[in-house]
Amino acid sequence: MTETNYNYVDGEWVAAGTGETFAVHNPADRSDVVGEFQKAGTADAEAAVEAADEASQMWADTPGPERGRILRAAGQNLADRKGELTETLVREEGKARPEAAGEVQRAIDIFGYYAAKASDVGGTVKASSSDNTRLYTVNEPVGVAGLITPWNYPIAIPAWKIAPALATGNTIVFKPASQAPGVSRKLVECLDEAGLPDGVLNYVTGPGSEVGETFSTHEAVDAVSFTGSSAVGDTVGRQANETGKRVQLEMGGKNPTIVMPSADVDEAVDIVVSGAFGVTGQACTATSRAIVHEDVYDEFVEGAVAAAEAVEVGPGLDGAEMGPQVSESELDSTLEYVDIGVNEGATLETGGDEIDAGDGFFVEPAVFSHVDPTMRIAQEEIFGPVLAVIPVSGYEEAVEVANGVRYGLSASIVTQDLSEANRFVEDSESGVVKVNEKTTGLELHVPFGGMKDSSSETYREQGDAGIDFYTISKTVYMNY
């Protein structure tokens, strides 16, 4: 029997007032129904906001160490249920099991990190220029935070938004993506079981046009943090700005890795292919473009083709290296871009065909060579396992190509030339810059965010930057 999952509002698991639900299917086996979820409407979202608003002062007044204790207990609950969470993530989103387990572990680590940080949320003391005066700052929570998260990292991204928001004393209304809401529901369960007070965290599933828009526009919501596509992010940002909210947007990417002549080509291939085809290319930081110096271009393409053809594609629960795309629409989009690349004149070296591997949305990882930087496959975010390999004649041209897109999220260079490495750090128009590493993969204690159309360029996420977004500073002059 299919499990029916409920919204979590004011400390209670409740059905949507609409009386409607929607089914989530396993993208590796469409006959496998992961669960039924509430198709909430505007009234349900408003009820969640009202609960968060009502609990706001109580949670803000809760001492930081006590908030940290609850986060620490929630992290332990996640750890105790890691196997269950991993399987849920694989079933509803499609990741390979090791990838899913790594994402769950990241959520566990994030809660541990911000549990410790909760005791340090205070302020700073400064020397006053006047006698008999204490000058200091106090960091206070912003209030009610509206969190809207994507399907591609359905527990890690909610964790890195929820944990700092709670650590700093904010209450939350949270809408996960409808393609993969189950693992984040279990995250909410872990917080509930850890003793989180009623109303502090509210979880509502349903369409963005009603639930998301309510969270973005309601007068009682003070801050909105969104991760997802640029098109939706632009709408969320406009709605939130019109109502004077603090806004944090992280959106798409078209991430390059530059490969220079000094690179070990085999190592470069491993770095690029891992970044391009890991998590089925469904990461905002995925390597979409390999910008390769002509001196090593042919050797690199040969290696990339061999590596792509060696990737085992299939259901994550069966031990495959690369799982399915999350939905039929995502698969269709990838296949369409493969056709676009061929029609534009790029050479499809390998892959790009739909795979008959059970009743799922599987596609072969694709490698294109002889890609011109102006082609659509070199300019537009594909969000699937498609790699465009672009030849260049030198460092300056490589950087020009790397920066020549509307996005600026993550970028890397593979080189043994220290001068090139340092120049690239300065020259790259991206929020994350890596040397001799893949564009994917993030440390949780340093800021994360993009530039240009990849981000609102307002606040960063993770590390101390996560604290900054959810707090506002009050300066105190104490004359005694």
d(CA 47, CA 363) in angstroms, rounded, equals 42
Closest CA to 452 of 399, 410, 407: 407
Q: Return the amino acid letter for 64.
A: G
> Are the C-beta atoms of residues 421 and 411 closer than 8 Å to each other?
no
Question: What is the 8-class DSSP label of residue 313?
Answer: B
Helix (H, G, I), strand (E, B) or coil at 190: helix
Biggest alpha carbon distance in the chain?
78
Residue 33, classified by CB atoms within 10 Å of its CB into exposed (0-12), middle (13-18) or buried (19+), is middle
Residue appearing with tokens 């990417």: 253
> Are the C-beta atoms of residues 362 and 313 closer than 8 Å to each other?
yes
Question: What is the 8-class DSSP label of residue 197?
Answer: P
Length of the chain: 480
Give the other-Cβ count within 10 Å of 2's Cβ: 12
Residues known to be catalytic: 250
d(CA 395, CA 398) in angstroms, rounded, equals 5
d(CA 169, CA 429) in angstroms, rounded, equals 34
Element (H, E) at 99: helix 97-117
d(CA 346, CA 340) in angstroms, rounded, equals 9
Quick one: the chain helix, strand, coil %, rounded to 5?
Answer: 40, 25, 35
> Are the C-beta atoms of residues 326 and 151 closer than 8 Å to each other?
yes
